[in-house]
Structure 1
């Protein structure tokens, strides 16, 4: 190409920002959807069942946690992991949908949920894994500790539990003492750190899964408290079976 031809070509005109904005919005939405559905998403702690590890209560500002999914693409949850999971059918008796009764509004909520802007319409719960498939869990030994495969657990994260006095089992609330349960393969036994205020596997031992939760119901592993600022920090796993 000659110098004259090159000099005669006009520089490409850049499109104004308002014309590029829709493309940028679409790209951002696609990235957000991929992040939420395949990598992880935030959740709000709605109750006190995981105190003091995670803060939540009716009418208060609960912790916001980030729950990542990547860990469980290659392995199953391990004892001590704090997981978010969908409650099995028998756990849903007190759950109420967070969707509007208006068809149009409900459709908008479902759409924005795909991008992580609205919570999913499911009974998402957060508990700690105590035992996994093939293990037998029961309570209690002479000191009131939970046993897995006959060995007492080391649970420093439990700071609120009903006091234990050997020989007074009949006086304890339902769930403080429970008979041995063998966790089926592909299932988990989960409990809240706040044993006084947690409706967990112990409360569902009479259902068809004997209180266990299918691994397929797990949405991810809680790894970080992202809000409020004073509570920011990692959510730590502690294997209670490691003692």
Structure 2
């Protein structure tokens, strides 16, 4: 058999419907594995509802999340999950994504502090403090009301921006949404409660981290960032 005769079955395979179907499926799985969606509007204006992100799943294989990183993670039992979809097809696809790990339910938040650090809010200017140092957060455009001497952490009622000093446990991270007025984040159960203690918070655990949020892939007019 000549070389040409050897090549013919291979060429027929590469031109076949089955090859193209397998290739399309492989590409689809790659896209599903690396593209995520931020949750609602909790990261606005940095991210908008409907933005599709490249999720770098390799970012934290040899490094830990750092303060300021926007991370994608699988929330634990302490975090609320949306009600199950009434659409059978959507529910089935969600179940497959969760089971295979290709497209699990995830949240997108910003890391504020890591293990051993202490976070509280607020100082006299309404800023979040990490280890006693106020954060500069230009990405927070929509914050909860705070007026020193009128609606702050000593007033009655207390500003909803306030939460007690929280020390981040080992292998844990305190994460917040950039849109503080609409973010069910680590300190959501603590906000505005003058009786809250350090047990009110919920943490992003190290083994729940799914990846680092990368560039916006879709829609086209928002390519790039965050």
TM-score (norm 1): 0.74
Determine the structure 2 residue equivalent to 1:193: 178
Determine the structure 1 residue equivalent to 2:18: 22
Determine the structure 2 residue equivalent to 1:50: 43
Change (3 A) 1:197 1:172: farther
For structure 2, the 5+ residue unaligned runs are: 191-195
Give 1:184 shift: 0.4
Determine the structure 2 residue equivalent to 1:233: 224
For structure 1, the 5+ residue unaligned runs are: 1-7, 57-61, 236-243
Structure 2: distance between partners of 1:84 and 1:91: 14
Determine the structure 1 residue equivalent to 2:96: 110
Q: Are 1:129 and 2:111 matched, yes or no? A: yes
Structure 1: distance between partners of 2:99 and 2:54: 16
Give 1:137 shift: 0.3
**55, 60, 69: which one aligns with 1:67:** 55
Give 1:25 shift: 3.9
Give 1:26 shift: 3.6
Give 1:87 shift: 1.6
**63, 72, 77: which one aligns with 2:65:** 77
TM-score (norm 2): 0.79
**180, 188, 210: which one aligns with 1:203:** 188
Matched length:
212
C-alpha distance after superposition, 1:144-199 (max 9, x if no partner): 1000001111111111112421232234554x101100000110000000111111
**Secondary structure of residue in 2 paired with 1:12:** helix
Give 1:78 shift: 0.5
Change (3 A) 1:52 1:18: same
Change (3 A) 1:72 1:99: farther
**Secondary structure of residue in 2 paired with 1:233:** coil
Give 1:114 shift: 4.6
Name the larger-Rg structure: 1
Change (3 A) 1:109 1:147: closer
**Secondary structure of residue in 2 paired with 1:90:** coil
Structure 1: distance between partners of 2:208 and 2:101: 20
Structure 2: distance between partners of 1:23 and 1:158: 49
